[in-house]
Amino acid sequence: MADVKRTWIKDAFWETPSKELLNCISEHKEGFKDVRQVHKLKRGDPLFDECVEQLTIEFIDKTTDERVNKKFKEQEQQRQLEINKRKAERLEQLFNYKLETFEVEDIKESKNRILKSRLRRAKSIPEVNLYAIMIIQDKLENDKETE
Amino acid sequence: MIKKPSKGYLVVASRKPNFYSLAINCIESIKDYYPDAKCCLVTEEKFLDGREDIADDLIFCDDHYRAKLWGMANSPYDITMYIDADSEIEHEDIATVFDELNNNDMMFHKLDEKYKKVYAITSFTYENVREYYTYCGGVCLYDMRNPLVKDFMNDWNDLFRKQYSKELILPMDPWQELWDFDQTTLWYLLNKVDKYKNIKVDSFKDNLRWNYFPHYERYFNAFPKDPVVIRHYSSYAQKDKSYA
């Protein structure tokens, strides 16, 4: 074991804030073969000390920070995509709901362009319902006047 | 004195009554933001229910799956902005869309490689060479004062009908996935027909703005530089059988 000359890849990072567990990759030669090993080393393990000595604590701190930031960014992007997904789904549902509302006979026949435009621009189902009621009321009033 | 070109919007609804409702909604949304807009509805006579009054021009078409291509070729305007019926306008800049043409003959929404997950199909082979669809036919701004553009629109319609009736099979693979797309015919005409090699075609500068699929937000968090003008609910319409 002691004879093996390892090179520690420069992407080691602390698994825990207490720096008791180190995640690192080593490379060494075995005859003509290049051997690459992934380690999770506990403090007290001779390889732990070897890796820390070669890469230095400051360097491992830096790669750990970079990794945490990268993970945080990825999570944030994932969260944003989830929000967007829900938003897009809601928008599509709202579009469908508006189309169905426009098919209601009295709304279909209504000539009130202003209220119909407001309904089309509505941002939620309750708002659509509100304008739908207003359009129907307006239509009924107009029908009464015509009679 | 030079005559000012006529400019208008064209929406087509054939085959399904729901497309008529979508087309009416689309035209009304254009007028919500641009009350003076000239709009042409191309539809089947049997669908009319009084709401067609919103259109300034009304043209009857047959019940073909892609009557839109016939409609585009028969636009009453010099410069036409064709918009798929399952779209909705949400910004007053719809009035300025004609400025986007610049000196081109036709403008389309570009199918960007990075968003290919959103599109039904993007790549194929033509005579065993890998090719990519460049443009989406969901919107098209075109100037028929150039007779070549008029010919193009007629050929797009004629060729697609042949393609759709299996009278024409192009050396494209997988043909079973390409034959019912008007994009297939569009790609072929723009890339393989000599007559149209000099036609000036481009995509909108702020591409996503003029044909924004909800999937752009859903999967890519991608937005245009300026606010969306045309939102295209096509993915939704395909999913929902009532709009199939």
Q: Contacts of residue B21 in chain A, CB cutoff 8 Å?
A: 99, 102-103
Measured between beta carbons, which residues in chain A are less than 8 angstroms from residue B25? 98-99, 102, 120
Distance between the two ends of chain A, CA-based, in angstroms? 102
Q: How far is A65 from chain B (nearest CA, A)?
A: 26
Please identify among residues 20-59 of chain B the ones whose CB lies closer than 8 Å to any CB of chain A.
21-22, 24-25, 28-29, 31-32, 49-51
B221/A108 touch (CB, cutoff 8 Å), yes or no = no
The confidence score (pLDDT) of residue B240 equals: 37
* Chain A residues with CB-CB distance to B214 below 8 A: 88, 91-92
**Cβ contacts of residue B160 below 8 Å, gap of 6+?**
B66, B69, B182, B185
Contact across the interface for A88 and B51, Cβ inside 8 Å: no
**Residues B208-236, mean pLDDT to the nearest whole number:** 89
Please measure the distance between the N-terminal and C-terminal CA atoms of chain B and give it in whole angstroms. 48
| B112-144 pLDDT, tens digit each | 888 887 777 778 899 989 998 889 999 999 999
Residues in A closer than 8 angstroms to B219, CB to CB, are 81, 85
Contact B51 A85 (CB under 8 A): no
The answer to whether the Cβ–Cβ distance between B25 and A84 falls below 8 Å is: no
Q: What is the mean pLDDT of chain B?
A: 91
pLDDT for A146 equals 81
- Cα–Cα dist A145/B147, whole Å: 52
CB-based contact B221 A81, cutoff 8 Å: yes
Summarised one tens digit per residue, pLDDT across range B158-204 is 999 999 888 988 888 888 888 888 999 999 999 999 999 999 999 99
To 10 degrees, what angle do helices A113-121 and A125-146 make? Answer: 170
Q: Which ipTM was obtained for this model?
A: 0.84
Q: Could you say which of B28, B49, B221 has the minimum Cβ distance to residue A120?
A: B28
Closest partner CB to B233 (pick from A77, A81, A95): A95
3-state helix, strand, coil in chain A (%, to 5): 65, 15, 20
Radius of gyration of chain A (CA): 33
Mean pLDDT of A39-57: 95
Residues 79 through 138 of chain B touching chain A, CB cutoff 8 Å:
88, 90
B215 in contact with chain A, both atoms CB, cutoff 8 A: yes
Taking alpha carbons only, the member of B121, B141, B98, B131 closest to residue B182 is B121
Q: How far apart are CA B152 and CA A4, in angstroms?
A: 73
H or E element that contains B43: strand B39-43
